[in-house]
Structure 1
Amino acid sequence: MRQVWKNFSALYFAALLMLIGSGLLTTYLSLRLAAEHVDGLWVGGLTAAYYFGLVLGGKLGHRLIARVGHIRAYTACAGIVTAAVLGHGVVGLLSVWLVLRLVVGIGMMCQYMVIESWLNEQAEARQRGVVFSGYMVASYLGLVVGQLLLVAHPQLGPDLLMIVALCFALCLVPVALTRRIHPAPLRPVPMEPLFFLKRVPQSLSTVLGAGLVIGSFYGLAPLYATGQGLSTEAVGLFMGCCVFAGLVVQWPLGWLSDRYDRALLIRCIAAALCLMAIPLAVFPVLPLELLFGMGFCVSLLQFSLYPLAVAFSNDHVETERRVSLTAMLLVTYGVGASIGPLLAGVLMKQFGHQMLYAFFSACGLLVVLRVRPGAVTNRHQVQDAPLHHIPMPDNMTASPLAAALDPRVDEQVVQDQMQDTPANPSP
């Protein structure tokens, strides 16, 4: 384990810095607009633009990397993202901010693709589970640290944007100075949406519900916490506590997932989310201890849906289609994460800040109604199902190439799908 961390420390550090900047920027923009009494619908729109950018980046990133190579693509995108972050401080028009958030999403997805393809290239088959877990820990830790920076620096001035830009500028260094060889060229991963809609509809419904909830959480939970009367420091602690729950739950969730029916687990967790979110939706003000405790518990549940859905879908899809499956799951998640903040923003505008958790409860109920263990025929279940559960990020801090690090996916299949066939004609 120690040797793995040593070998991949530069890439983990790059991911850590990216997520510190991304997590801080999302919360900062929400609190900044709340302090200026801007309509919460704009906050939802900014979050939706970011996730829509991530979805677009999955397509555009392949083309950019194929044209200029991994290091140049990563460097160019990090520079563009840094400029877009600083643009929030230069231009105050919200319509421009929407475009800037879209650009940040596109650029960051390309950066994820470069880091993940490099991790895949350097990881031995027997190390993939450990390498992937390290990447997940770096991702969650970056998001938590980004929230805690608000505790150390609660003033919502332009200097916070400078810190975000600093993180994106510094994440250039580990990749730009690497002496490793370039990973193999990439080509877009086919998604086959009609196939997966027929094969794993309940998994896709769960992923959509997770996207609705988690996209809304990152964009609008700071507004909810502000509505509870929390200071900027307390908002940072609340967000950090909730994001940390997403990391804590992964390993016990894996233990449960490997021992119990996954469709039943998804339904039970969705039902618990539906019920647990109700007190936060009903009471406009809660004592601080209760707010943090219930927020942590709800987050344990909301961050469980995506990895369970991934494990459940992998049980029913052949090895050669699992990279395509990951692309389909991430696009579905991105659609939910783009729509969720807009819907939740409308509810919060009309009925108050606590409607965020009423929206979470409704999404949990939607998943309960859509996921029915009795409807699972197991006709297409793979021979060695249930496959070992792999802890993974569930907040779009990964690209379709994340499947390449999953030890459940055959290494040769991954290489066949990721490498470009030479297009030059014979002389």
Structure 2
Amino acid sequence: MQQTGTIRAFSSLYFSTFLMVLGAGLLTTYLGLFLAKEQVDPLWIGALMSFYYLGLVLGSKVGHKLIARVGHIRAFVASAGVVTASALGHGLIPDLTFWLLLRFLVGMGMMCQYMVLESWLNEQADNHQRGTVFASYMIVSYFGMVAGQLVIGSFPELGLEPLLLVAIGFALSIVPIGITRRIHPAPLHSAPLQITTFWRRMPQSLTTITVAGIIVGAFYGLAPAYISNTGLPNEKVALFMSVTIIAGLLAQWPMGKLSDRIPRSRLLRTNSALLTIVVLILALLPLSGTLLLLATFCFGFLAFSLYPVATALANQHAEQSERVALSAVLLLTFGLGACFGPLLASALMQLLGNFMLYGFMALCSFTLFLRLQRVNYSQKQAARIVAAQQSDDYVMASSDVFSSPLAAALDPRVDEQMVQEQMLEPKTEPAQGDTTVSTEAASTEAASAEDSAVVPEQAEPAQSETTVAANTTAAPPEQHQAATDAEDAEDTIVSRLAKRQQQDKGD
């Protein structure tokens, strides 16, 4: 009942999201199929997708300034107008160079719209319902993407009708936002980027997000053309894309639960290894029908879960005050990966053939697996070295016991049996003319000297004995006699403590 009330409270934002994502998914698939039908080089198809993601990356900066200047609703309306005009421009001017500019504008406009929606949800969702709010937002986004893929199957001729539907979708997305009665959120404040700092601290997370951007960008930009080149009709292409996106939607909940039960770094390594196998099967085997749909379902399940698991791993090692800056770095990293992915994949497809779309993805996922293995091994080795250093760096505590003859008995580096034998052995009186003193006297003077000097981790007994011997030889007879009396008193204390220790052991 509470979840239903939450969804109803944000229904206007969810409906705008659905219409916006439906138009974006329809436009992306339409352009891929249209250019494949016109037998355009795959490099141009990849470049169009790369410029779209480049617009997303740069649009984050423009979006912050626009929202801060005119507010959320006006920024959303202006961005939707730019995207609508850009979508119609594809049918007005059939020039690929001009289309690159249009795709860039679509990316910038959609990034501003995403920022309006997500910042609005984030500000006005209570803490006890935040998870439900954003889970509903993601589900609506996935359903909008799937709806866009299914609509394209109704237009086998690929005329201007899909572009008109795209424009209608973006135009109608303004209506729920424009008439909402919810309180307007506060203006956004940009967070400073700390890319180098987070890369040093979170290499596994950011490497995974980069590869995830490469794979997802290449899939959305080139998969429609890839399937169309195999001879399948547009309705089969729409089904192929829909199954893949639905698999990504279904993967979110179980992978999230699994990441809470096992180490996320291990889950990422396993995911990348399985993804390598799946994409190799898609690249090398001539699959069709149900087997092809099953393979692409497994691909979507694994590929679309890389980003959320890596994001959870990154936030696991971040402080609360770093979350905003970290989110900006994660989005930027994913966007840059998605910019280069379609370009590289399309170049390989043009040089080596259509199958290189999934061959390129297999290379990326296998490289990710090797990178994660190496980073994990390096981190474990560093942890072992630190643990070994901490266990070796034994420092005796400063107290009265430290300056007593029992200090050696408390040092873990000294053999306990040897200490007991030394403490129980009767002490012989040194001769008056001797130039050396016993080992106990050297230990007593060395212990008393530690009140005014720092003691190193490893003592040098030979040097200490020589120094004490020299000092004893140079001392007057009265001082030597006083030292001997004090030493006898020390021996009495040691003997009493040793007897008490033996008595305690006997008890």
Do these two structures clear the TM 0.5 threshold for a shared fold by scoring above it? yes
Match of 1:200 among 202, 209, 220: 202
- Does the CA-based 8 Å contact 1:52-1:338 persist in structure 2? yes
What is the alpha-carbon distance in structure 2 between the residues aligned to residue 116 and residue 336 of structure 1? Answer: 22
Q: Per-residue deviation at 1:223?
A: 1.2
- Does the CA-based 8 Å contact 1:223-1:353 persist in structure 2? no
Q: Per-residue deviation at 1:228?
A: 2.0
Q: Per-residue deviation at 1:180?
A: 2.2
Q: State whether structure 2 residue 20 is matched by structure 1 residue 18.
A: yes
* Paired position in structure 2 for 1:316: 317
What is the alpha-carbon distance in structure 1 between the residues aligned to residue 42 and residue 128 of structure 2? Answer: 47
* Paired position in structure 2 for 1:61: 63
* Paired position in structure 1 for 2:220: 218
Specify every segment of 5 or more residues in structure 1 that has no aligned partner in the other structure, as ranges.
380-427
Match of 2:240 among 238, 241, 253: 238
Question: Which moved further from structure 2: 46-55 or 350-359?
Answer: 350-359
Identical amino acids, percent of aligned pairs: 52
Secondary structure at 1:249 match in 2 = helix
- Does the CA-based 8 Å contact 1:344-1:356 persist in structure 2? yes
- Does the CA-based 8 Å contact 1:228-1:286 persist in structure 2? no
Q: Per-residue deviation at 1:304?
A: 1.2
Q: C-alpha offsets along residues 28-56 of structure 1, whole Å, 9 cap, x if unaligned?
A: 00000000011111000000000000001
* Paired position in structure 1 for 2:418: none
Match of 1:5 among 7, 13, 21: 7
- Does the CA-based 8 Å contact 2:153-2:238 persist in structure 1? yes
1:350 partner amino acid:
L
Q: C-alpha offsets along residues 227-285 of structure 1, whole Å, 9 cap, x if unaligned?
A: 222101100010011011110101110111000010011011001111111121113x4
Q: C-alpha offsets along residues 317-357 of structure 1, whole Å, 9 cap, x if unaligned?
A: 10110111111011000011000000000111111111111
What is the alpha-carbon distance in structure 2 between the residues aligned to residue 195 and residue 279 of structure 1? Answer: 38
Q: State whether structure 2 residue 258 is matched by structure 1 residue 256.
A: yes
Q: C-alpha offsets along residues 293-326 of structure 1, whole Å, 9 cap, x if unaligned?
A: 1111111111111111001111111011011111
Secondary structure at 2:261 match in 1 = coil
1:140-155 maps to which residues of 2 (within 5 A)?
Answer: 140-155=142-157
Q: Per-residue deviation at 1:289?
A: 1.4
* Paired position in structure 2 for 1:272: 274
* Paired position in structure 1 for 2:136: 134
* TM-score using structure 2 length: 0.73
- Does the CA-based 8 Å contact 2:72-2:185 persist in structure 1? yes
* Paired position in structure 1 for 2:308: 307
What is the alpha-carbon distance in structure 2 between the residues aligned to residue 271 and residue 135 of structure 1? Answer: 30
Specify every segment of 5 or more residues in structure 2 that has no aligned partner in the other structure, as ranges.
384-507
1:84-163 maps to which residues of 2 (within 5 A)?
Answer: 84-163=86-165
What is the alpha-carbon distance in structure 2 between the residues aligned to residue 375 and residue 205 of structure 1? Answer: 15
What is the alpha-carbon distance in structure 2 between the residues aligned to residue 189 and residue 135 of structure 1? Answer: 23
The number of equivalent residue pairs is 378
- Greater C-alpha radius of gyration: 2
What is the alpha-carbon distance in structure 2 between the residues aligned to residue 14 and residue 264 of structure 1? Answer: 38
What is the alpha-carbon distance in structure 2 between the residues aligned to residue 321 and residue 238 of structure 1? Answer: 40
- Does the CA-based 8 Å contact 1:212-1:339 persist in structure 2? yes
Secondary structure at 2:181 match in 1 = coil
* Paired position in structure 1 for 2:229: 227
1:224 partner amino acid:
Y
1:351 partner amino acid:
L
* Paired position in structure 2 for 1:354: 355
Q: Per-residue deviation at 1:169?
A: 0.2
Q: State whether structure 2 residue 206 is matched by structure 1 residue 184.
A: no
RMSD of the alignment, in Å? 1.2
Moved over 2 A (4+): 151-155, 372-379
2:364 partner amino acid:
C
1:169 partner amino acid:
A
Q: Per-residue deviation at 1:105?
A: 0.3
Q: Per-residue deviation at 1:179?
A: 2.3
* Paired position in structure 2 for 1:389: none
What is the alpha-carbon distance in structure 2 between the residues aligned to residue 206 and residue 304 of structure 1? Answer: 11
